[in-house]
Every structure is written in structure tokens, then in C-alpha cells.
Amino acid sequence: MVHEQDGVRVQPRRVRRRQPGRGAGLRWAVEAAARGQLEVRTETLSLQEAADAHRRIESGVTTGKLLLRVTA
């Protein structure tokens, strides 16, 4: 059943019980990171490039993490 009021739409969702084997991907990532086998791609941009970084993230084409460098 969907409820809509004042332009807000609410649709209930079912909560599923935890299934055996779920979370295996997270477990693999944690173990790979502990072994030093996980590569995290980062790119550092200056604070002046923050608007560009935001646009890139919103576009969905960014791979890895964008970091903003703040200097005193």
C-alpha cells in the first residue's frame, strides 16, 4: 500500500531475515584489506576544485574516492 500526501510518497518495505552467506562480500573485502590486498583508488584535488569534484561525483563516472586538500 502506497501513501501519498503533500507530494511525499511513502511505500512500506519488507524486512528480510538474514540469510546464510549474506555479507560474504563484505567479509571478503575486510579480509583482503587486512592482508594488504585491497587497492583503494584516490585522487586529491585542491579546495578550489571542490565544485568540479562535486560535479564528477554526481555524474556517477568517478571511480574510487576524491579527496579535497585543505591547506592552512
- Per-residue pLDDT, 67: 93
Position 21, amino acid: G
Provide the residue-wise pLDDT of the chain in tens; the chain has 72 residues.
667 777 777 777 776 666 667 788 888 888 888 898 888 889 999 999 999 999 999 998 888 889 999 987
Length of the chain (residues): 72
pTM of the full structure = 0.48
- Say how far apart CA 23 and CA 16 lie, in whole Å: 14
